[in-house]
A and B are shown apart, each in its own frame.
Chain A
Amino acid sequence: MSGLKRLVPGGWLSVYAVLYVAFLYVPVLFLPVFSVNTAATPKFPLSGFTWKWYEGLPHTPELLNAAWNSLVVGLSASVLSTVFGILAARAITRYRFPGRRPINGLIMAPLVLPEIIVAISMLLVILQLGLSLSLFTVVLGHVLVCIPYSMTVLTSGFEGFDRSLEEASADLGESAFGTFRRVTLPMVTPAIISSLLVSFTISLDEFIIAFFLTGTEATLPIYIWGQLRFAAKLPGVLALGTLLLVASFVLLSIAEVLRRRAARRTQSEGGLYA
């Protein structure tokens, strides 16, 4: 009896969990499905298999341009946000200082603010200062929204970090910088790479801030946004979306594997040698 009782809630729950995950995945999976469908409008029944929507992509100069812009913005934003993230995550996990919580709260705030508020407030300041909108201003905005994600990844990598290893290195005469470079850095490298990948993905997908803060240059989401107005362009957008989806999935899987490795490396008994 009690065995049955224990089984049933878990049983129903597991059915629910599977349905819920399906709800999360099905809309996303329509992108690849309709990107290889011959019909120009996405509807059932499927009309036939084709690669033609993908083949059209490399022959669209605006798209290539937008992809290049996204790459430049993504690389700059991910490097900068990771550098800022490293400094802050290190401070948060390693030191106690007054104002630690409110400062951390402020740095994490973009995570819970509506993006439109972040975007328009930066827009106002940039225009007030007489700066012109460009990819550079997009990078400034993206760094701000990427830092909280970098922080999350990096703090989980830095936490549980065995401080005695650093102390040992200092006792053995290594300078603070030397200790960081030769002891700390190798242990946290996976977390750093993971932070780079995560913030690159965020920047690659971010629309609102780029929409407000870019001048004439489009990033990929802005290009997609422009295409969405034309129903005839939809299959091409679906194809592009599928490629972005695959790229995000690959980048994030690598990031997740690295983050776990970092967490294991810093937390296990063996330290560096684990």
Chain B
Amino acid sequence: MTAAAEGSAPLAASRPGRKPLLQSESAQGLALITPTFLYALVLLVLPILVVIAHSFWTQHYLTIDRTFTLENYRIALTEPIYRDLLWRSLYISLVTSVATVVLAYPNAYYISFHGGHRKGLWLFLITIPFWTSYLLRVMSWKVILGYNGVLNSGLMGLGIIDEPITALLYNSNSVIITLVHAWAAFAILPIFVSLEKVDRTLIEAAKDLGDGPLRSFLRVTLPLSAPGVISALLIVMIPTVGDYVTPKLVGGKDGVMIANAIQAQFGKASNWPLGAALSVTTMIVVTAMAGAAVLIIRRAARLAR
């Protein structure tokens, strides 16, 4: 008896259930994406707006004075400590992103053009180390580059050097090495995807028309993979500018970056508005740098053709 009642329920429910099918596609799509969209709006966009608002306010001990001021930006841009940290962060993220892309490109090329049926395996192999804890990867570089570390003790054991090389750890270079390693997978994947899209017949055509392998690579493959190079560059450049763990663990005092200063303002120094202004400045400057890089690559790709 209850079974009969249960059996009829879906039938009854199917009528109102059909109505949405008749509604327009866009309404259904929008309705479906709204929860996720709202989540991102409330937990990402709204907080970023709050940060921007804070950057124009002033900290008075425990309270925040909400009268508009540009003082925080003056401090962020002109005070030598913050200015230097910002420049160093930009330098590190620029060198890291360019080095990551340059080192990743041949590998992505190899997988796309010579990977055969093992493309999937190669990509999986490359992403595995990236999935291991970021903290631990940074730490293993500290273990490798340290004064008594793996590299120094190994080289000394082999008799190549007599005393430990101190230049390995606690400077910008150790930060760059660690970041290039940490972000490799992020660069390979977009470049690989865009290389996969390169029409192989165009390369054949270039060859038939007398271009050598290098020339056809420079004039056909490389410009056509520019979108992948651009996204790889951006996906590495923007997050690395705000890296906190790497400079803290392997940067020492010469490798401190802007994120460490931002963290200090929200921690010990307890000056939220200044921390907010430093964050906003970093975001704007790195966006400008990324935009310039995109323009340069697009132009170069057009000229090469």
A residues whose Cβ falls under 8 Å from a Cβ of B: 5, 9-10, 13-14, 16-17, 20-21, 23-25, 27-28, 30-31, 34, 41-45, 84-85, 87-88, 90-92, 94-100, 103, 106-107, 109-118, 120-125, 128, 140-141, 143-144, 147, 170, 173-178, 201, 204-205, 207-208, 212, 221, 224-225, 228, 234, 237, 241, 244-245, 248-249, 252, 256, 260
Contact = CB atoms under 8 A, between A and B. Distances in A.
Contacts of B130: 24
Given A16-B107, A43-B150, A84 B133 contact: no
A60 B100 CA distance: 39
Contacts of B134: 205, 207
Interface SS of chain B: helix, strand, loop or mixed? helix
A30 B137 CA distance: 10
Interface stretch (B29-37, B80-88, B295-303): B29-37
Interface of B: 10, 13-14, 17-18, 20-21, 25-30, 32-33, 35-37, 39-41, 43-48, 50-51, 54, 103-104, 106-107, 109-111, 113-114, 120, 122, 124-137, 139-141, 143-144, 148-150, 152-154, 157, 181, 184-185, 213, 234-235, 238-245, 249, 259, 262-263, 266, 272, 275-276, 279, 282-283
Given A31-B140, A87-B32, A249-B128, A98 B17 contact: no
B232 to A, nearest CB: 11
A100 B14 CA distance: 29
Please indicate which of the listed interface residues A44, A92, A170 has the most CB atoms of chain B within 10 Å of its own CB. A44
A15 B21 CA distance: 56
Given A120-B262, A177-B17, A241 B136 contact: yes
Given A30-B150, A121-B48, A260-B120, 15 more contacts: A17-B111, A42-B150, A44-B153, A45-B153, A84-B35, A95-B26, A97-B25, A97-B29, A110-B40, A113-B238, A116-B242, A120-B266, A147-B40, A224-B139, A228-B249
A95 B29 CA distance: 5
Contacts of A45: 153, 157
25 contacts: A9-B213, A13-B110, A20-B106, A24-B126, A27-B129, A27-B140, A28-B137, A91-B32, A92-B33, A94-B32, A100-B29, A110-B44, A114-B243, A115-B244, A116-B263, A117-B51, A117-B282, A125-B50, A143-B39, A175-B14, A204-B133, A205-B131, A205-B135, A207-B245, A212-B266
Given A21-B125, A91-B33, A115 B239 contact: yes
B164 to A, nearest CB: 10
B131 A109 contact: no
Contacts of B149: 42-43
A27 to B, nearest CB: 4
A228 B21 CA distance: 57
Contact of B43 (A34, A103, A122): A122
A117 B106 contact: no
Nearest to A255: B131
Q: Which 8 A-B pairs have the closest CB atoms?
A: A114-B242, A95-B29, A175-B17, A121-B47, A97-B29, A91-B33, A97-B26, A43-B153
Given A30-B143, A109-B44, A115-B239, A44 B10 contact: no
Contact of B41 (A96, A106, A112, A204): A106
Nearest to A256: B124
Contact of A28 (B20, B103, B132): B132
A174 B238 contact: no
B36 A147 contact: yes
B50 to A, nearest CB: 5
Residue of A30, A100, A204 with most partner-chain B CB within 10 A: A30
A97 B61 CA distance: 49
Contacts of B125: 21
Contact of A224 (B107, B136, B234): B136
Nearest to B147: A43
A10 B140 contact: no
B190 to A, nearest CB: 11
Contacts of B139: 224, 228, 237, 241
Among A9, A147, A224, A248, max chain B CB count under 10 A is at A9
A147 B137 contact: no
A117 B28 CA distance: 33
A211 B77 CA distance: 27
A28 B135 contact: no
A243 to B, nearest CB: 11
Contacts of B43: 122, 140-141, 143-144
B252 to A, nearest CB: 14
B37 to A, nearest CB: 5
A47 B142 CA distance: 20
Nearest to B257: A116
